[in-house]
Amino acid sequence: MALGGMLGGLADSLGGIDGIIEKLNDAGIDASVIEGLDLEAIVGMIEEKGIDLSILETLGVSVEDIIEKVKGA
């Protein structure tokens, strides 16, 4: 299996971006919670909830992409 296929499978197993958003919502992190916070504060909050963001870069997704999706932008 090619690397792209493996990464695609990994993203699917995580539920893709929507799956990541669901995990954040389950952890109590939504648009109302992150409103007015800077990127560093949001990342810190996510990490405090035990969500590992290190896989995002591998999936070609940035924290900023996730934050925009959570905010609904």
Per-residue model confidence (pLDDT) at position 12: 54
Q: Would you tell me how many other CB atoms lie within 10 Å of the CB of residue 3?
A: 7
pLDDT tens-digit series, residues 37-46 = 999 999 999 8
**Under the phi-then-psi rule, with left for phi > 0, alpha for psi from -120 to 50, and beta for the rest, what region is 36?**
left
Per-residue model confidence (pLDDT) at position 11: 53
Q: What length does the chain have?
A: 73
Range of the domain at 36: 3-71
**Which comes out higher in pLDDT, residue 18 or 11?**
18
pLDDT at residue 2 above 60?
A: no
Per-residue model confidence (pLDDT) at position 52: 81
Q: Would you tell me how many other CB atoms lie within 10 Å of the CB of residue 43?
A: 16
pLDDT tens-digit series, residues 15-27 = 667 778 888 888 9
How many angstroms separate the CA atoms of 7 and 41, rounded? 28
